[in-house]
Each structure stands twice: as structure tokens, then as C-alpha cells.
């Protein structure tokens, strides 16, 4: 269990322990090339491979990728079907590679609307990598931040808890094992968090880039980390209260 940034001041490291990413821009990447939107999603999977490998090499402990939101079910049915098939193919072809690289995979979100086949593949993938202690890779699929909070609250009510505090709620959220994200990245030019990790992003550093997800490579990730390293993470304190090596601009 990790401490809450609103209750305790977390350790600040030069490399973020936990990076959370909204992978936006696949459709627009394809449209710019006069390709169907699904071609962008397919190319985006190549970027996932590159960023996972880069995070592992850079010493990031936890990487959470927003793959499919609860609102994405509103998209055209053919695109949703393609994304579900792509998820299945990714689990079929990538899990062994993750396992051989000591990466642990977890899938966050509700699985009720997934096919029985996909649910079983997710279960097997999580079981296969469960003993790995390297990079923790979390894929948020049919996930929403409000769903996460409501699910936690309803779980506590079902257990008979009558007084809910922050610690109890945090333990029922989707990632009680993970530190809160230090760095949030959104590609594709939009500047919103779109119902992603609403509770967990309370004190994350936010980084937005115009780069479309299929073009977001290791160099782009390192640029985002460079931006993070220039931030002064005060967690409610003044600049003067920080150790000198954590001060940035003297505010």
C-alpha cells in the first residue's frame, strides 16, 4: 500500500515512479495519411511496445495506459469491434514477451461487457505475469475514473462500512498497490483528463503534447520526463520548505 499525496508527502525522484498516459490521436494520425482510423490504432500498438520498453530501461516502476474508456463504447461499432479484436491479438502475441522481460500486466476496469474469450485471455495474461517484479504495466480498458470511485464506495457499503475515510476508499480503488502517478501525459493536443484516474491524479504533474500517439517515441517520452524534472513538487508547501535540490524557480 502506498501513502496518499494529500495525507503524506511522497518521495520525489528524478525519474517518475509512475507514469500515466492517455494515448490520444490514433484516428487523426490515420486520417492525415488517408488511412482508415483502425490503421492508427494498429500503429499505436507499436508505440505501446516502444514506450513500455523505454520505461523499463529508464527505471520507471509503473506505467498505466488508458486504452479504452467507458465512454468509448459510444464509438462506431466497427471501430469498437476492431479495438476488441486488437486487444485479443495483443494479449495473444505480447504477453510472452512481457513475461520474458519480467513485466507484470494488470488490466483495470469493468470487464462485464467484454466477450467471454477476452475475459479469459485477460485472466490468463495476469496469472502468467503475476510473479514478475519488474515494470508494472497497467492497461485501463472499459475504465472510467468515476466508475472507479463509485465501485470502491459500493464495495465498502457492501462490506458494511458506515464511515468511509480516504484510506479505506484508496484501498478499494483499482490500483491500491501502485504509487499515485507522478507524471500524467496526454498526446494528441487535447488538454483534459477525460475521466482518467480522477482520484489518483490529485497531485500528478500534467504534460500535454501535440504529438499524436503513433508518433510518440522514446525521445518524446524523455522530453516529457525532462519537463517533469523542471517542476517544483511542493504538495502544498512553500518553495522555502523544500530541500534545496528540489527547488526549481524559487517561488
Instruction: Give catalytic residue positions.
Output: 24, 72
Is residue 186 annotated as involved in ligand binding?
A: yes
Is residue 205 annotated as involved in ligand binding?
A: yes
Nearest Cα to Cα of residue 213 among 12, 37, 10: 37
Contacts of 197 (CB under 8 A, 6+ apart): 20, 64, 140, 145, 148, 181, 184
Is residue 236 annotated as involved in ligand binding?
A: no
Is residue 24 annotated as involved in ligand binding?
A: yes
Is residue 69 annotated as involved in ligand binding?
A: yes
Strand partners, 138: 64, 106
What Rg, from alpha-carbon coordinates, does the chain have? 18
Is residue 194 annotated as involved in ligand binding?
A: yes
Is residue 134 annotated as involved in ligand binding?
A: no
Is residue 28 annotated as involved in ligand binding?
A: yes
Beta-strand relationship, 104-108 and 62-69: unpaired
What is the SS3 string spanning 94-118? HHHHHHHCCCEEEEECCCCCCCHHH
Could you list the residues known to form a binding site, using ranges.
24-29, 37, 41, 69-71, 73, 75, 186, 192-194, 205
Could you list the residues known to form a binding site for substrate, using ranges.
25-29, 37, 41, 69-71, 73, 75, 186, 192-194
Could you list the residues known to form a binding site for Mg(2+), using ranges.
24, 205
Amino acid at each position: 500500500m502506498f501513502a496518499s499525496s494529500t495525507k503524506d508527502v511522497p518521495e520525489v525522484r528524478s525519474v517518475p515512479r509512475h507514469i500515466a498516459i492517455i494515448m490520444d490521436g490514433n484516428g487523426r494520425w490515420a486520417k492525415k495519411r488517408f488511412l482508415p482510423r483502425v490503421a492508427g490504432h494498429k500503429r499505436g500498438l507499436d508505440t505501446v511496445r516502444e514506450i513500455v520498453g523505454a520505461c523499463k530501461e529508464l527505471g520507471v516502476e509503473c506505467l498505466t495506459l488508458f486504452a479504452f474508456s467507458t465512454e468509448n463504447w459510444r464509438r462506431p461499432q466497427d471501430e469498437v469491434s476492431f479495438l476488441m479484436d486488437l486487444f485479443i491479438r495483443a494479449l495473444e502475441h505480447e504477453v510472452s514477451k512481457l513475461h520474458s522481460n519480467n513485466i507484470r500486466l494488470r488490466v483495470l476496469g469493468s470487464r462485464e461487457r467484454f466477450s467471454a474469450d477476452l475475459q479469459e485471455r485477460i485472466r490468463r495474461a495476469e496469472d502468467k505475469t503475476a510473479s514478475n517484479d519488474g515494470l508494472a504495466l497497467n492497461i485501463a480498458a472499459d475504465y472510467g475514473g468515476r466508475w472507479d470511485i463509485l465501485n470502491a464506495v459500493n464495495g465498502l457499503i457492501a462490506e458494511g462500512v458506515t464511515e468511509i475515510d480516504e484510506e479505506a476508499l484508496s484501498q478499494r480503488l483499482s490500483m491500491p498497490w501502485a504509487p499515485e502517478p507522478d507524471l500524467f501525459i496526454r498526446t494528441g493536443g487535447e488538454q483534459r483528463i477525460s475521466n482518467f484516474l480522477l482520484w489518483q491524479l490529485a497531485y500528478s504533474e500534467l504534460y500535454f503534447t501535440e504529438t499524436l500517439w503513433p508518433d510518440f517515441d522514446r525521445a518524446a517520452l524523455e522530453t516529457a520526463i525532462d519537463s517533469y524534472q523542471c517542476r517544483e513538487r511542493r504538495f502544498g508547501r512553500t518553495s522555502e520548505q523544500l530541500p534545496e535540490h528540489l527547488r526549481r524557480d524559487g517561488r
